[in-house]
Structure 1
Amino acid sequence: MSFSIVVDHVSFAWPDGTTVLDGLDAAFPAGRTGLIGVNGSGKSTLLKIIASELAPRAGSVSVSGEVGYLPQNVPLGASRTVSDLLEISATRAALHAIEGGDVAEEHFAAVGDDWDVEERARAELDRLGLDHVGLDRTVGTLSGGETIMVALAAQLLKRPEVLLLDEPTNNLDLGARRRLYAAVAAWQGVLVVVSHDRALLELADQIAELRDGSVRMYGGNLGDYEEQVATEQEAAERIVRTAEGDVRRQQRELVEARTRIDRNLRNGRKAFENKKVPKIVANGLKRKAQVSAGKQRTLHLEKLEEARDRLTEAEQAVRDDAEIRIELPGTEVPAGRTVLTLPLEPRTAAGEPEDEGAGKAAGEPEGEAAGKVAVLEALVVRGPERIALLGPNGSGKTTLLKRIVGHGANVPVRYLPQRLDLLDDALSVVDNVRAVAPSASVNEVRARLARFLFRGDRVNQAVGTLSGGERFRATLAALLSADPPPQLLLLDEPTNNLDMASVRQLAQALSAYRGALIVASHDLPFLETLGITRWLRQDREDGLAES
């Protein structure tokens, strides 16, 4: 098999000494590869090294062809335009100059053969559902999902041989996800995608799992991978049970051998004491018995040690991934108590463009949760309500959550933004949490961070070096450690960057939370586990409505 990407003994560590990859070997073939692994395993770092965004400390990477790279966090720059994000501004400026009569040679050099760049850019944007987004629109007016789709259009416009995508469905509404799935399914080159999105991973030709510092390839999509892993785990658990039985048998035989040896030695001593045999014969028998006893003990001890080694090896094949343990504050809001009253304008996301195609996305709740029934003049939250906030990208969901934070509530509020920019990148994880929980001791903070899988020296790691999933865990730890504890939680796309086990833990914790909750998310399976009591929909034209 020929490989389009070869990673040869690559090592990488952050400036503070934190090792991410150590002598990693991997090879990615043609087709669509889903790169998976638990948060912090080094997936995003590996993509950045392949894309030459980071330089490895040791080892090398070879790639066949030009590389396109869509990072997990797209650099914004509020004053940049969509044209800038598409990297076509210089070519467009030259085209417009030529069209205006300026025939300077540098303009023709800038255009090259790209005379239809605007048409091609417009076609890519339209294909990805961004027909309402103009080329001269500033990035600062785009939603997170729209920014991702524009950045994807930029990569598709380059037509690279190798395309790297890092969590591309983060912040995307259901319609945008479907368009991204279609673009991935139609991709003819080499594609490596880091994702926890099941639907996206079902499109993969193979799954590459980064685990315990090495990459292992599995043929087929996510479902095929899960079947293979389940079969392997069943076999591994059978081997463990067999190895455990062997250890018990060797322990039992060792005890029996020792008992038999001790009995023989006692019988020998009695025979000598009773003078049943001559002294010289007795001493010879004694020495022989001691030598035999020593050999027997050594033999049984070696067999026991070998059995224990086989058990250890078998146990290492059984997966036991650590999971976060989220414990929300033991707060409670009485039923009927007014937590928030926020007056609303007809259009909450004022200034954002209207999109007549921004109707209900496929896959959103049907029945009682389907279709608008009443546009709200004010958002009133009472008691421990659990509110799901839906709506297409760019409709103003994030704007609404920020308005709630700025307006204030009748109870302590905590807000988890989708860009996870609450923490100080220069400070360590432990110092960030201590900053919001000054009354907690260092040991108390360390104990809280341990539940979020920050243990030992990991708590001293600078936040700026964390992966997306690790940053989420650190931000959530700080959010839930804050004093006073929140009675209203605002979460903006909280399942972004989380592995599947962490999503399950978060859902369980939120299900047990007794405060008020507003969650903006496109992850309907996640929302359905939270016991949502109200479904609200933010629309570009009308504002906020009951659904």
Structure 2
Amino acid sequence: MTHSHSSLSLSDLTFTWPDGEPVFSGLSFVFPSGRIGLVGLNGSGKSTLLRLIAGRLTPDAGSVHASGEIGYLRQDITLDPNVRVDDILDIGDLRIALHRIESGEGTEKDFAVAEGNWDIEERAISTLHRLGLERVLPDIEALGRTVGTLSGGETVLLGLTATLLKNPQVLLLDEPTNNLDRMARARVHAAVQQFPGTVVVVSHDRELLNSMESTVELRRGNLRTFGGNYSLYQEATTAEQENALAAVRDAKTDLAKQNRELIEARTKLERRKRYGQKIQDERRLPPILAQTRKRKAEVSAGKLSVNHIGKVDDAKSALADAEKMLRDDREIRLDLPDTQVHPGQQVVTLEDVVLRSGQIVSLHVTGPERIAIVGPNGIGKTTLLDALVEKKPFVPCRALRQRLDVFDENLSVADNVALAAPHATSEEIRGQLARFLFRGTDSDVTASALSGGERLRAALATILLAQPAPKLLILDEPTNNLDLPSLAHLTQALHDFRGALVVVSHDLPFLREINITRWIRMDENGIQEIDPEWQ
């Protein structure tokens, strides 16, 4: 599709967190037009960059230039369940003004607020329905509901609606397909494809990233454009890495060769020196001639030494340059507790329990079962997991909640982990956090300052260090916000876990790779077992 002219650029952008940690220093960059995937490792600063572009953070220096209005979908849109739908849509005050005008009590200020937005409620409902929320938000009255009555996926769609209602020319989307079922993902993909301006997307949704026209990588505080989608970006970086590894190997070989030649040269010089001294000692040469030869030998030795040392220094420099091109990327390291649940052992039982979502369900988890719960957004999957936790399982249990609201927001990451693991030493806690990329002072950051990806890593660190070690893991959308290398580590760790597992996820490849043994589908009538080969 053709894009209307839309530009986005950064000029000498500098930003440092209040604790002194630098994120960007003098960053200048012009984004391509069209659909752009912004990629980079967890913690590289992708969400921070979007917040700076959107004006939610103020840079220390430099500026952002955008043609037209910027729309921004936050990654943590689902955190506060008490916010009203119309406030998320940023039309709460506008609706109040419209209703006062309709009742004949409108003031001059109300008319000024409503100017040009008389149909905002109808437009909001139309956009919500286009994104698939007609069941939960069927009419204008529903705009007064709170976000807590919606599922995580529905809240993401609500946030996207809020962003699109502003008619922006530049659209910034931070993990827009989190918690979404396949139908909802398809609607988001379509909305992104149809957007006429510039879209910058941060996501771990490979399908969405592969629909982008260009890919921009954020790495070590710098941005770099790759033509094409995520798969082409991967091919390019893999080829670069192979070339860099070859260059490092060649540089190491050359350095070893230069060192060897330097040693050989020094050995020859030492022999010559000893031989000259021996001749002098035996007085075979007149003193004047011996002295002349000694001076010549020293000059020759000096030249030879400088020449070889120079070559060694050049080889060291070439190796350092080659190593800079290597991607020594940080990835999380996961060791799940070495707990075990025996076949036939009772883990947790629900018997004709009435869920908050209305269904009556019975579910028995026995032995080291690995259960996947699937179903459309808003059907009650999270509610079912909450019921399992509240039922007090027969084995130690830990849950990863979808909203990641498990922290004391005023405490540091390390202090939050310490609450879950009171018997762990400070060294054990910080060692565990380091495996989740919270190194040094990173673990002293307060929970309220964490990005979505950081919250997920902190939550995983907390439940995996918890005491007693969990034999049942209940995970609600555990792959959200994880970069692809970290996702691979989580997948492998859960694959090897010998305890029981109950997982809600819309990521079917992930579920298949962790060896699910029972598949359960949830709908309005409750739950039922389904064939493992379902699509």
Superposed pair shares fold, TM > 0.5? yes
* Greater CA drift, 243-252 or 332-341: 243-252
Q: 1:185 to 1:229 in 2, by over 3 A?
A: same
Of residues 277, 302, 312, the one that matches 1:304 is 312
- Counterpart in 1 of 2:383? 399
- Is 1:28 equivalent to 2:28 in the alignment? no
| Residues 223-252 of structure 1: CA deviation (Å, up to 9, x unaligned) | 111121122122222212221221121112
| Residues 140-196 of structure 1: CA deviation (Å, up to 9, x unaligned) | 211111011011111112111111111111111111101000111111101111111
Q: CA deviation at 1:95?
A: 4.0
- Is 1:56 equivalent to 2:59 in the alignment? yes
- Is 1:545 equivalent to 2:523 in the alignment? no
* Greater CA drift, 262-271 or 179-188: 262-271
Give secondary structure in 2 for the equivalent of 1:253.
helix
Does structure 1 retain, via aligned residues, the 8 Å contact 2:6–2:170? no
Q: Give matches, 1:446-465, under 5 Å.
A: 446-465=430-449
Q: Give matches, 1:527-538, under 5 Å.
A: 527-538=511-522
Q: Give matches, 1:293-442, under 5 Å.
A: 293-345=301-353, 348-350=355-357, 377-442=361-426
User: What is the distance in 2 between the residues matched to 1:531 and 1:344?
Assistant: 28
Does structure 1 retain, via aligned residues, the 8 Å contact 2:79–2:404? no
Q: CA deviation at 1:470?
A: 2.1
The amino acid of 2:355's aligned partner reads T
- Counterpart in 1 of 2:152? 144
User: What is the distance in 2 between the residues matched to 1:71 and 1:175?
Assistant: 21
- Counterpart in 2 of 1:193? 201
Q: 1:462 to 1:91 in 2, by over 3 A?
A: closer
Of residues 284, 289, 307, the one that matches 2:292 is 284
Q: CA deviation at 1:99?
A: 4.5
- CA-based RMSD of the aligned residues comes to 2.0
Q: 1:80 to 1:420 in 2, by over 3 A?
A: closer
Q: 1:79 to 1:442 in 2, by over 3 A?
A: closer
- Counterpart in 2 of 1:355? none
Q: CA deviation at 1:474?
A: 1.6
User: What is the distance in 2 between the residues matched to 1:168 and 1:31?
Assistant: 17
Q: CA deviation at 1:263?
A: 2.0
Does structure 2 retain, via aligned residues, the 8 Å contact 1:4–1:190? yes
User: What is the distance in 2 between the residues matched to 1:519 and 1:310?
Assistant: 49
| Residues 340-392 of structure 1: CA deviation (Å, up to 9, x unaligned) | 111244x63426xxxxxxxxxxxxxxxxxxxxxxx984110000000001111
Q: Give matches, 1:126-137, under 5 Å.
A: 126-132=129-135, 133-134=137-138, 135-137=140-142
Q: CA deviation at 1:256?
A: 1.7
User: What is the distance in 2 between the residues matched to 1:251 and 1:3?
Assistant: 56
Give secondary structure in 2 for the equivalent of 1:343.
strand
User: What is the distance in 2 between the residues matched to 1:383 and 1:226?
Assistant: 40
The amino acid of 2:116's aligned partner reads D
Q: 1:274 to 1:342 in 2, by over 3 A?
A: same
- Counterpart in 1 of 2:90? 87
- Counterpart in 1 of 2:112? 109
Does structure 1 retain, via aligned residues, the 8 Å contact 2:78–2:403? no
What are structure 1's unaligned runs of at least 5 residues?
Answer: 352-374
Does structure 1 retain, via aligned residues, the 8 Å contact 2:41–2:330? no
| Residues 509-529 of structure 1: CA deviation (Å, up to 9, x unaligned) | 111111110011001111111
Q: 1:23 to 1:462 in 2, by over 3 A?
A: farther
Q: 1:459 to 1:124 in 2, by over 3 A?
A: same
Q: 1:79 to 1:327 in 2, by over 3 A?
A: closer
Does structure 2 retain, via aligned residues, the 8 Å contact 1:206–1:219? yes
User: What is the distance in 1 between the residues matched to 2:141 and 2:23?
Assistant: 40
Q: 1:88 to 1:464 in 2, by over 3 A?
A: closer
Of residues 238, 244, 247, the one that matches 1:236 is 244
Q: CA deviation at 1:79?
A: 4.6
Give secondary structure in 1 for the equivalent of 2:514.
coil
The amino acid of 1:252's aligned partner reads R
Give secondary structure in 1 for the equivalent of 2:141.
coil
Of residues 252, 256, 262, the one that matches 1:248 is 256
- Is 1:45 equivalent to 2:45 in the alignment? no
Q: 1:136 to 1:287 in 2, by over 3 A?
A: farther
What are structure 2's unaligned runs of at least 5 residues?
Answer: 531-535
User: What is the distance in 2 between the residues matched to 1:15 and 1:142?
Assistant: 35
Give secondary structure in 2 for the equivalent of 1:546.
strand
- Counterpart in 2 of 1:360? none
Give secondary structure in 2 for the equivalent of 1:380.
strand
Does structure 1 retain, via aligned residues, the 8 Å contact 2:131–2:187? yes
Q: 1:447 to 1:108 in 2, by over 3 A?
A: closer
User: What is the distance in 2 between the residues matched to 1:103 and 1:484?
Assistant: 61
The amino acid of 1:466's aligned partner reads L
User: What is the distance in 1 between the residues matched to 2:87 and 2:452?
Assistant: 25
The amino acid of 1:293's aligned partner reads A
* Greater CA drift, 387-396 or 130-139: 130-139
Does structure 2 retain, via aligned residues, the 8 Å contact 1:390–1:521? yes
Q: CA deviation at 1:264?
A: 1.7
* Greater CA drift, 266-275 or 165-174: 266-275
Does structure 2 retain, via aligned residues, the 8 Å contact 1:348–1:544? no
- Identity fraction in percent: 52
| Residues 25-77 of structure 1: CA deviation (Å, up to 9, x unaligned) | 32213211111111111110111111111111222222221111100011665
- Counterpart in 2 of 1:499? 483
User: What is the distance in 1 between the residues matched to 2:303 and 2:262?
Assistant: 12
| Residues 468-492 of structure 1: CA deviation (Å, up to 9, x unaligned) | 2222222111111111111111001
User: What is the distance in 2 between the residues matched to 1:470 and 1:101?
Assistant: 50
Does structure 2 retain, via aligned residues, the 8 Å contact 1:254–1:300? yes
TM-score after normalising by structure 1: 0.91
Give secondary structure in 1 for the equivalent of 2:31.
strand
User: What is the distance in 2 between the residues matched to 1:83 and 1:344?
Assistant: 36
Q: CA deviation at 1:444?
A: 1.9
Give secondary structure in 2 for the equivalent of 1:480.
helix
Give secondary structure in 2 for the equivalent of 1:329.
coil
Q: CA deviation at 1:411?
A: 0.9
User: What is the distance in 2 between the residues matched to 1:392 and 1:30?
Assistant: 34
Q: CA deviation at 1:533?
A: 0.3
The amino acid of 1:452's aligned partner reads F
The amino acid of 1:127's aligned partner reads R
- Counterpart in 1 of 2:533? none
- Counterpart in 1 of 2:280? 272
User: What is the distance in 2 between the residues matched to 1:506 and 1:344?
Assistant: 33
